[in-house]
């Protein structure tokens, strides 16, 4: 039997080795590859726990997108891996949205595991949730800045026109989080944490932190008189490449990635069998979910990869040099906020009768007019208090007016979405629409048709609709000014020290 060829790559003596199990906790990872990573003596295990990418509901409600059972199972596996490797385990953006509640939830899983295993674990928590009055005060000092003209205070508004100040928007948020930078993780790691659980943080900060700390690249004087821009560039670029796990490789779903970072550059390799990193897969990852392919803005500065050079070390590993970090004169934290925009109900009806399918556009126009007439006749609400959408599944539900193809569907699903200012109105409008969805005839049809409701009740209460409403940064005096870092030892104090 041949020796395992994966991970045998020579590693610079002064490098920091970061093991990234997957792009996000809850998504799964290749267990064999994780075990291989632990055996390769990493200096830290780092994983992201969240994103805005699944929509505003999670921040709006302080909930997690992933199954709690899956998250708990994976987190316990990582705690075991950390215990075996004897190095810190770091997570950022706990529970999708990174609110304090989600930090506490992961802390509890950690506590349960430690007590069951009979080991003591020193946990640092980084809480990044913000309260509106503090940010309103910062706004009045001129310390909150919009990031784009696209969002501003109007982002997420139902009509996009409501005249509102930023202070009102901040006050209306159900939850606000700031994205922590690398300095918060460094402070936690300098306190000898075994496990760091952070609220919302940039995906890259949790990976860049330890290499930056070991290279002495923190604090206001970092970089003076040295080639610190290149060294910090290597750390941040490695972090960006590894933050989505194996997405920078030819087998994205395999999860596990290993990066070795030194002052001159970094190397990256996937740890699952059959997965490869190539100069193309690695350099292309800078495009992913990033508006500017050359620049990544982070708290305290920006990564510039326009001079980066990508070299294949073998058929599955890549070395990257030439990236630069440029510090900004002022340190800012990005803010995310979500607020309630209304209440929603939905109904789905399936139209299968061929003559109705053929004339579905005409039928939908009739249906909408009928529902609007009924609202006017029966409900005592202003016309603009209710938004109606009829999406034609099988025709143009995904693209709407931008749909460019026409086909001949066998059936069409009509998805009615009602958004109203209160829950009772939303449900009542959906109920009022029910008979029309079920029976509305075309004008030249002498029989009353019946279409297919897939369930009873036909109406589904979707609850509160949340919207992202902040696209801002807040200027801070020092990197952890708005963050709360604490340490606690969980598990059995009398037990083995982890």
Partner 1 sequence: MRVADLTRRVRAKNAGPFRLTIDCFCATDADWRRLCTALPAYRVAQALAAGPDTVIRYELPSLRVLKFSLPRPGVQGAVGDRDLHGAQWALVIEALALPADA
Compute the least distance from the CB of residue 319 to partner 1, in Å.
16
Smallest separation, CB 233 to partner 1 (Å): 18
Site for partner 1 (CB under 8 A): which residue of 3, 224, 291, 447? 291
Task: Give the nearest distance from C-beta 151 to partner 1 in angstroms.
Answer: 4
Phi then psi for 369, rounded to 5 degrees? -60, -40
Considering the complex, what minimum distance in angstroms separates the CB of residue 427 from partner 1?
Answer: 17
User: Out of 465, 485, 490, 498, which residue is the one contacting partner 1 (CB under 8 A)?
Assistant: 465
Looking at the chain, how many residues does it have? 498
**Residue of the chain from 374, 389, 445, 475 that contacts partner 1 (CB under 8 A):** 389
How far is it, in rounded angstroms, from Cα 158 to Cα 171?
Answer: 17
**Which residue, 268 or 485, has its beta carbon nearer to partner 1?**
268
Looking at beta carbons only, is 2 or 398 nearer to partner 1? Answer: 398
- In Å, how far are 9, 243, 351, 401, 457 from 405, measured between CA atoms? 50, 37, 20, 11, 34
Looking at 70, 145, 280, 378, which residue binds partner 1 (CB under 8 A)? 280
Specify the residue, 192 or 292, whose C-beta has the smaller distance to partner 1.
292
Q: Does 307 bind partner 1 (CB under 8 A)?
A: no
**Count of residues binding partner 1 (CB under 8 A)?**
45
16 scored as a contact of partner 1 (CB under 8 A) = no
387 lies in the site for partner 1, by CB under 8 A: yes
Tell the smallest beta-carbon distance from residue 35 to partner 1 (Å).
32
Q: Are 475 and 330 in contact (CB under 8 A)?
A: yes
Is residue 384 a contact partner of residue 373, using CB atoms and an 8 Å limit? Answer: no
Q: Site for partner 1 (CB under 8 A): which residue of 11, 65, 101, 158?
A: 158
Nearer to partner 1, 8 or 306 (CB): 306
CA 367 to chain centre: 38
Stretch of residues binding partner 1 (CB under 8 A), selected from 73-81, 112-120, 353-361, 467-475 = 467-475
Residues numbered 35 to 94 that lie near partner 1 (CB under 8 A) are: 52-57
Mark 233-272 with x for binding to partner 1 (rule: CB under 8 A) and - for no binding.
----------------------------------------
Stretch that binds partner 1, among 63-71, 228-236, 387-395, 424-432 (CB under 8 A): 387-395
Nearer residue to partner 1 within complex by CB, 14 or 311: 311
Site for partner 1 in 394-433 (CB under 8 A): 397-402, 404-405, 419
Among 131, 168, 289, 328, binds partner 1 (CB under 8 A): 289
In whole angstroms, the minimum distance from the beta carbon of 303 to partner 1 comes to 15
342 scored as a contact of partner 1 (CB under 8 A): yes
By beta-carbon proximity to partner 1, the closer residue of 219 and 293 is 293
Q: Tell me how far, at minimum, the Cβ of 56 lies from partner 1, in Å.
A: 4
- Which residue in 43, 74, 262, 471 binds partner 1 (CB under 8 A)? 471
Backbone angles phi, psi at 298, to 5 degrees: -130, 165
Between 57 and 87, name the residue whose CB sits nearer to partner 1: 57
Q: Residues 172 to 191: which contact partner 1 by CB under 8 A?
A: none
Tell me the sheet residues that pair with 268.
Answer: 259, 318
Supply 258's token pair.
């290993």
Which residue ranges make up the site for partner 1 (CB under 8 A)? 52-57, 147-151, 155-158, 280, 283-284, 287-294, 341-342, 387, 389, 391, 397-402, 404-405, 419, 465-468, 471
């Amino acid at each position: 039997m041949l020796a395992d060829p994966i991970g045998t790559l020579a590693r610079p003596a002064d490098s920091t080795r970061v093991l990234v199990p997957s792009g996000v906790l809850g998504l799964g990872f290749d267990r064999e590859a994780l075990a291989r990573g632990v055996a390769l003596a990493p200096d830290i295990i780092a994983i992201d726990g969240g994103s805005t990418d699944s929509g505003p509901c999670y921040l709006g409600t302080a909930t997690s997108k992933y199954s709690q059972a899956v998250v708990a199972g994976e987190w316990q596996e990582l705690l075991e891996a950390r215990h075996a490797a004897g190095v810190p385990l770091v997570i950022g953006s706990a529970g999708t949205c990174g609110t304090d509640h989600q930090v506490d939830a992961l802390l509890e899983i950690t506590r349960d595991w430690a007590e069951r295993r009979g080991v003591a674990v020193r946990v640092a928590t980084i809480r990044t949730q913000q309260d509106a009055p503090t940010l309103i005060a910062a706004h009045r000092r001129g310390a909150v800045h919009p990031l784009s003209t696209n969002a501003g205070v109007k982002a997420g508004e139902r009509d996009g026109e409501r005249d509102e100040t930023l202070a009102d928007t901040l006050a209306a948020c159900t939850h606000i989080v700031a994205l922590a930078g690398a300095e918060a993780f460094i402070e936690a790691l300098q306190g000898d944490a075994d496990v760091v659980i952070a609220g919302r943080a940039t995906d890259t900060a949790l990976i860049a932190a330890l290499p930056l700390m070991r290279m002495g690249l923190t604090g206001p004087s970092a970089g003076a008189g040295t080639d610190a821009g290149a060294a910090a560039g290597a750390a941040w670029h490695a972090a960006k490449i590894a933050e989505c796990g194996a997405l920078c490789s030819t087998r994205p779903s395999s999860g596990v990635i290993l990066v070795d970072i030194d002052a001159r550059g970094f190397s990256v390799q996937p740890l699952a069998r059959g997965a490869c990193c190539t100069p193309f897969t690695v350099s292309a990852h800078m495009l992913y979910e990033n508006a500017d392919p050359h620049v990544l803005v982070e708290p305290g500065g920006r990564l510039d990869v326009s001079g980066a050079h990508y070299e294949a070390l073998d058929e599955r590993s890549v070395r990257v040099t030439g990236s630069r970090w440029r510090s900004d004169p002022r340190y800012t934290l990005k803010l995310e906020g979500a607020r309630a925009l209304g209440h929603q109900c939905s109904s789905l009806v399936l139209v299968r009768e061929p003559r109705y399918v053929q004339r579905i556009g005409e039928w939908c126009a009739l249906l909408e007019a009928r529902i609007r007439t009924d609202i006017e006749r029966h409900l005592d609400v202003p016309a603009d208090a209710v938004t109606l959408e009829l999406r034609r599944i099988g025709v143009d539900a995904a693209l709407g007016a931008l749909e460019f193809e026409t086909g001949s569907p066998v059936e069409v699903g009509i998805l009615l979405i009602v958004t109203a200012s209160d829950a009772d109105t939303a449900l009542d409008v959906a109920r009022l629409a029910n008979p029309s969805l079920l029976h509305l005839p075309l004008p030249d049809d002498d029989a009353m048709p019946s279409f297919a409701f897939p369930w009873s009740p036909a109406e589904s209460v979707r609850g509160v609709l949340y919207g992202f409403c902040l696209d801002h940064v807040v200027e801070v005096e020092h990197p952890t000014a708005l963050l709360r870092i604490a340490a606690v030892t969980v598990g059995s104090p009398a037990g083995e020290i982890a």
